Amino acid sequence: MADTNTSYEFRLFINNEFVDATSGRTISVRNPSNGNVVGNVQVAGSADVDAAVEAAEAAFKGPWSKFTGPQRRDCLIKFAELIEMRIPEFAKAETLSMGATIMLTQHVFGPWTVATLKSSASFADKIEGQSFTDQDDGTYKIVEWGPAGVCAAVSTWNAGLVYFAFYVGAAIASGNTLVYKASEKSPFDALIIADLISEAGFPPGVINIISGDGETGAQLAAHMKIRVLGFTGSAPTGKKVAELAAKSNMKKTILELGGKAPGVVFDDCNLDNVVQVCASHFLAINGQACTASTRLLVQSSIAATFTQRMKEAFEKVEADLPRDPIDPTSGIGALADEKQLEHVLAGIEAGKKDATVLTGGSRKGTSGCYVQPTIFVDVKEGSQLWREEVYGPVVLIKTFETEEEAIELANDTEYGLAAQIFTRDIARAIRIARKMEAGVVTINAGGIGDLQSAFGGTKGSGHGRTGGWYGVREFMEPKTIKINMKYDG
């Protein structure tokens, strides 16, 4: 059964044209709220990946190389403006494909996508270099930043529109060309956007959009002509991407991987704010966010009150499930697909061996990809639940006594993407933030990104950054030019 009368683009976009994949393979995308088919998308095989890379290479060496910074800026701004006019269409495609609410995709992801592209555009005509005088050794040195060449990006599904903007904006602002692979769980928003690329003024081959599964992503990671690869996804897959990149041509990788973020809750916090962030905001995307506080560390003096408040908040959301995420009044959607549903349920069952279920703990209903919002207490620190990312509406609560204990518990993970601290004592918050082994530490708020600062992880959560100048610089290479000032011939 089809979910919509809209016929979404299912082909690949290479060299400013929609073309059929040569692989002959397709992937069926289903609405996770009801199982209906949204559409069938073509899978890029090795020949298709080669064609996209060749188009990008020709553009990088050809017309695109003659575009100035202001010209690149203007193309990106126009691209953003064209996208802005069609946000409802893109948002609907994303909601139908991966289950996030239309409220989230249309009113958060859509505007954020536009703002991110415009922010990246602002750097296109402001790329600076450095110079060093000849006072020390008689050599005048210049360091210039230039594009790396043909780049690629493999996107995740939980916020596909946003990651499209992060990677495309940064790579294009700095003068590269790009092959972008949309997630097989939610490919249609990127393919709809592809229709605007030529209209925005980009020459053929500058931005190429393909779809496919892990095999397609692996071909990009191993391709000998790609110089930089951005990947957002799970830590196990990120390791495979890094290995393929190293074994091929040592291409640079930007890896934004999973998380097991701690939320450290002190007894002087604003409890209403904490519950809002750790329950309402967390559940808005069903916990499918790598920055989400899934390990809640609570000072023992307020643990009983906090736990009861969280339980009530989770059960209130559960009472509203299942809801169709396309309904504008829906506050929580479905998990991304059947595979994700199975993964989350398996994580919950594994957690039951080493922890106590306070609320939830099961599938919600018998159809659709819905899980009861779940809270675990009395969790063993070395358990699978403590160590591994569930990536669903599942949190665990553990108490602590002292600041030192909180820091030790928070850092007891191989992940290092995000951490949150909740306290009215700002001096303590900053003191603890500096000791957190995480790329992004947020105080009295959730782990959200922005357009100015760096976003990315440490340890097992990857390396490289998106956001602002930090993201643009990841797609560039510094070149040093030296001039012998003593030369007189």
The predicted-structure confidence for 228-244, as pLDDT tens digits, reads as follows 999 999 999 999 999 99
| pLDDT < 50 regions, the chain | 4-5
Q: What is the pLDDT of residue 420?
A: 97
Phi, psi of 178 (to 5 degrees): -145, 140
Q: What is the pLDDT of residue 5?
A: 44
Q: What is the pLDDT of residue 487?
A: 82
β-strands 440-443, 418-422: how paired? parallel
Which residue from 204, 156, 211 is spatially nearest to 42, judged by alpha carbons?
A: 211
The angle that helices 214-222 and 46-61 make with each other, rounded to 10 degrees, is 40
Buried b / exposed e along 467-479 (16+ C-beta atoms within 10 A): bbbbbbbbbbeee
Q: How far apart are CA 218 and CA 210, in angstroms?
A: 13
Q: What is the pLDDT of residue 357?
A: 98
Query: What is the three-class DSSP state of 465?
Result: coil
Q: How far apart are CA 58 and CA 313, in angstroms?
A: 55
Q: How many residues does the chain have?
A: 489
Give the distance from CA 16 to its chain's centroid: 25
- Give DSSP secondary structure letters for 233-259: S-HHHHHHHHHHHHHHT--EEEEE---
Copy the structure tokens of residue 236.
């196990």
Q: What is the pLDDT of residue 200?
A: 98
Q: What is the pLDDT of residue 387?
A: 92
- CB neighbourhood size of 286 (10 A): 31
The angle that helices 160-173 and 87-98 make with each other, rounded to 10 degrees, is 130
Q: What is the pLDDT of residue 3?
A: 55
Q: What is the pLDDT of residue 244?
A: 98
Q: How far apart are CA 255 and CA 257, in angstroms?
A: 6
Burial class (CB in 10 A: 0-12, 13-18, 19+), 291: buried
Alpha-carbon torsion 235, 241, 247, 251, what sign? negative
Instruction: Give the residues across from 185 on adjacent strands.
Output: none
Query: Which residues have a catalytic role annotated?
Result: 256
The predicted-structure confidence for 39-93, as pLDDT tens digits, reads as follows 999 999 999 999 999 999 999 999 999 999 999 999 999 999 999 999 999 999 9
